[in-house]
């Protein structure tokens, strides 16, 4: 008997972002595993068990889901956004790599979702209109020196930068340090976008400059987009400004 | 009278990837503008006009859609994948910036979609489990020297790299050149993923190594993912291998 494990992206939270593929994978699962607040977004299904766990228990959550699937069940792990972007897909792969042979025999599917950086970008215009990168500011799983090296490389070469996991209670200084680092490469006027909870009642998306970004409040659920030298704003009377990065770059500008 | 313009991401092509938000935006539009093959993916709606244009007419397409919306209509521009990733959202913003004041008065909405890099990644595992970047290999809008500088920066700092627009008839040598450039930074055994047409009948996703990547065929619709030194494969009996990049990086490794 070979079980089935789906690793599902819920998107930013509003059901309008949930793809039909993800919807079907949720409905057909016999058991759901996930961080509590993500599971709370999924309507109840008769006969489906739910297994909530804490944000920091990702490895144990993946193990439990894999064991359950290996027993022959149809199991789903839910992620916010896209499961492949700083979320559960890599955790599940790591555990399959380390785990028993039976886990490699499982039918495993990854179901993509709208990741936070693209949801926030869509609210404001087209900040990722040119080459871009995504970087987690958490130094739980990599040394801070590597984060700094990547900030230097990305800003120096003119990539738009998406910052995931900018701040947490245990990591209060990292975001301010990153802003200081970026100011070595980019003008003070560079647009910086702060977005959280897109599509949910507490949605908040705002634009500031690199000079002001360090003083702007952020938390673990905030997604930050730092523009390039080319990123521009369009002021609009009676409407929020648009922010975009032109497709063309005439020269090595950063 | 103020019109409405929606810039809509269709995802990779299969309707299972189309979000409810995008579906609603398509149905409520009075006119659709887009590259012909993308428009062909959208079922016909009674009373809705369609305006197909060629792949290279993006500026003219955006102008026509903006003019139509400014006349008071409800207009949609369709993009494959996500409109904010090397697609129509930046074009529309560029045209609004240059255009008449009436275009800045329009109600403009960007509707995110599943972009190719995340659709391909989901087919193979979790190659973007760590920090990553996305780079267009087209040198139509930027000098090739800038592409090379970005490849150096990204591979040197240990980002997973997604390559969009790797090859076209007019750009036959760029992808091979990029592979040679990446071999300066990364081992020959680095996993490289080629994906195209995810979710469509002609879907093809394969894995090779950086040593072999230059000889692997690609076209304009191929999305290529180049791993890091840490990216790993999981061989599975009777199943396709999984490819993932671990979340943790112990040191500056590239």
Residue with tokens 């990123």: A231
Whole-Å CA distances, B222 to B32, B188, B191, B216: 26, 21, 16, 11
Q: How far apart are CA A51 and CA B118, in angstroms?
A: 26
The whole-angstrom distance between A108's CA and the closest CA on chain B is 9
Q: What is the pLDDT of residue B1?
A: 55
CA of A9: which chain B residue's CA is closest?
B122
Which residues of B are less than 8 Å from A104 in CB distance? 234-237, 239
Q: What is the pLDDT of residue A168?
A: 87
Point out the residue among A142, A157, A235 whose CB comes nearest to the CB of B153.
Answer: A157
Please name which of B115, B114, B150 lies closest in space to residue B133, comparing C-alpha atoms: B150
Rounded to 5°, the CA angle B190-B231-A223 comes to 125
Question: Quick one: average pLDDT of B193-217?
Answer: 93
Cβ of B84 within 8 Å of Cβ of A121? The answer is yes
B143 DSSP assignment: -
Radius of gyration of chain A (CA): 20
Q: What is the pLDDT of residue A239?
A: 94
Question: Quick one: average pLDDT of B118-145?
Answer: 96
Strands (E), A10-158: 31-35, 49-53, 74-79, 107-111, 125-126, 132-136
CB crowding B57-72: b at 16 or more within 10 Å, else e:
ebeebbbbbbbbbbee
Which residues of A are less than 8 Å from B128 in CB distance? 84-85, 134
Backbone φ and ψ for A169, nearest 5 degrees, come out as: -60, -35
* Test mutation, A154, A157, A198, A252, chain B, max B CBs within 10 A: A157
Q: How far apart are CA A75 and CA A6, in angstroms?
A: 6
Q: In what order do the strands lie in the sheet with A232-236?
A: A125-126, A239-244, A232-236
CB B11 within 8 A of CB A113: no
Cβ of A118 within 8 Å of Cβ of B84? The answer is yes
Question: Quick one: average pLDDT of B46-51?
Answer: 95
Backbone φ and ψ for B225, nearest 5 degrees, come out as: -120, 120
Cβ of B108 within 8 Å of Cβ of A242? The answer is yes
What would the DSSP string read from start to end of B167-229? -BTTBSSHHHHHHHHHTTTS-TT-EEEEEESTTSTT-EEEEEEHHHHTTS---TT-EEEE--T
CA of B99: which chain A residue's CA is closest?
A234
Q: What is the pLDDT of residue B63?
A: 98
Which residues of B are less than 8 Å from A18 in CB distance? 19-20
Please name which of B176, B159, B169 lies closest in space to residue B225, comparing C-alpha atoms: B159
Determine which helix (DSSP H) or strand (DSSP E) holds A154, and give its type and residue range.
helix A144-156
Predicted TM-score (pTM) of the model is 0.96
Whole-Å CA distances, B88 to A15, A57, A90, B83: 24, 40, 31, 5
Question: Quick one: average pLDDT of B29-50?
Answer: 95
Which residues of A are less than 8 Å from B136 in CB distance? 131
Q: How far apart are CA A200 and CA A185, in angstroms?
A: 34
Q: What is the pLDDT of residue B55?
A: 85
Rounded to 5°, the CA angle B116-B120-B124 comes to 165
- Residue B73 burial (CB count, 10 A): 17
Residue with tokens 């149809």: A74
Residue with tokens 């599917």: A109
Question: Quick one: average pLDDT of B167-189?
Answer: 94
Q: What is the pLDDT of residue A254?
A: 45
Cβ of A104 within 8 Å of Cβ of B234? The answer is yes
CB B123 within 8 A of CB B115: no
Which residues of B are less than 8 Å from A20 in CB distance? 15-18
- Find the DSSP H helices in B5-163: 20-28, 36-39, 58-70, 88-98, 101-104, 116-124, 144-156
- Give the 3-state secondary structure of residue B84: coil
CA of B6: which chain A residue's CA is closest?
A122
* Test mutation, B24, B62, B94, chain A, max A CBs within 10 A: B94
Cβ of A111 within 8 Å of Cβ of B122? The answer is yes
Q: How far apart are CA B69 and CA B76, in angstroms?
A: 9
Q: How confident is the model at residue B231 (pLDDT cuts 50, 70, 90)?
A: very high
Which residues of B are less than 8 Å from A250 in CB distance? 142-143
Q: How far apart are CA B57 and CA B60, in angstroms?
A: 5
CA of B241: which chain A residue's CA is closest?
A104
**pLDDT tens digits along B67-118:** 999 999 999 999 999 999 999 999 999 999 999 999 999 999 999 999 999 9
CB A198 within 8 A of CB A120: yes
Question: Quick one: average pLDDT of B149-165?
Answer: 97
Q: How far apart are CA A102 and CA A95, in angstroms?
A: 12
CA of B164: which chain A residue's CA is closest?
A131
Length of chain B: 254
Whole-Å CA distances, A25 to A20, A47, A66: 9, 15, 16
Which residues of A are less than 8 Å from B245 in CB distance? 90
Tens-of-pLDDT digits for all 254 residues of chain A?
Answer: 579 999 999 999 899 999 999 999 999 999 999 999 999 999 988 999 999 999 889 999 999 999 999 999 999 999 999 999 999 999 999 999 999 999 999 999 999 999 999 999 999 999 999 999 999 999 989 999 999 999 999 999 999 999 999 998 888 899 999 999 999 999 999 999 999 999 889 999 999 999 999 888 898 899 999 999 999 999 998 999 999 999 998 765 44
Q: What is the pLDDT of residue A1?
A: 55
Cβ of B142 within 8 Å of Cβ of A248? The answer is yes
Which residues of A are less than 8 Å from B244 in CB distance? 89-90, 93-94, 97
Distance from CA of residue B144 to its chain's centroid?
19
Determine which helix (DSSP H) or strand (DSSP E) holds A59, and give its type and residue range.
helix A58-70
Cβ of B126 within 8 Å of Cβ of A135? The answer is no
- Give the 3-state secondary structure of residue B166: coil
CB crowding B85-112: b at 16 or more within 10 Å, else e:
bbbbbbbbbbbbeebeeebbebebebbb
Q: How many CB pairs under 8 A join A and B?
A: 247
| Higher pLDDT, residue B169 or B126 | B126
Q: What is the pLDDT of residue A210?
A: 97
Kindly tell me the burial class for residue A40, based on how many C-beta atoms sit within 10 Å of its own C-beta (0-12, 13-18, 19 or more): exposed
- Give the 3-state secondary structure of residue B148: helix
Kindly tell me the burial class for residue B181, based on how many C-beta atoms sit within 10 Å of its own C-beta (0-12, 13-18, 19 or more): middle
């Amino acid at each position: 008997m070979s079980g089935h494990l789906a690793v599902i992206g819920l998107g930013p939270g509003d059901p309008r972002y949930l793809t039909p593929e993800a919807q079907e994978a949720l409905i057909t699962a016999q058991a759901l595993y996930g961080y509590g607040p993500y599971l709370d977004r999924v309507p109840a299904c008769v006969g489906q068990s739910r297994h909530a766990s804490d944000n920091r228990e990702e490895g144990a959550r993946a193990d439990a889901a894999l064991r359950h699937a290996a027993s022959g069940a149809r199991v789903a792990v839910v992620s916010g956004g896209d499961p492949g972007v700083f979320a559960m897909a890599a955790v599940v792969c790591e555990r399959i790599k380390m785990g028993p042979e039976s886990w490699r025999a499982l039918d495993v599917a990854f179901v993509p979702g709208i990741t936070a950086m693209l949801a926030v970008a869509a609210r404001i215009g087209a900040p990722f209109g040119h080459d871009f990168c995504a970087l987690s500011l958490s130094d739980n799983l990599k040394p801070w020196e590597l984060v700094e090296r990547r900030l230097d490389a990305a800003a120096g070469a003119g990539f738009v930068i998406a910052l995931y996991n900018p701040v947490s209670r245990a990591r209060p200084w990292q975001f301010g340090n990153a802003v200081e680092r970026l100011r070595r490469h980019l003008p003070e006027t560079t647009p910086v976008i702060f977005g959280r909870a897109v599509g949910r009642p507490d949605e908040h998306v705002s634009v500031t400059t690199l000079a002001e970004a360090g003083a702007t409040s952020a938390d673990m659920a905030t997604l930050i987009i730092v523009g390039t030298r080319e990123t521009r704003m369009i002021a609009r009377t009676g409407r929020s400004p648009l922010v975009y990065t032109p497709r063309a770059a005439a020269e090595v500008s950063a």
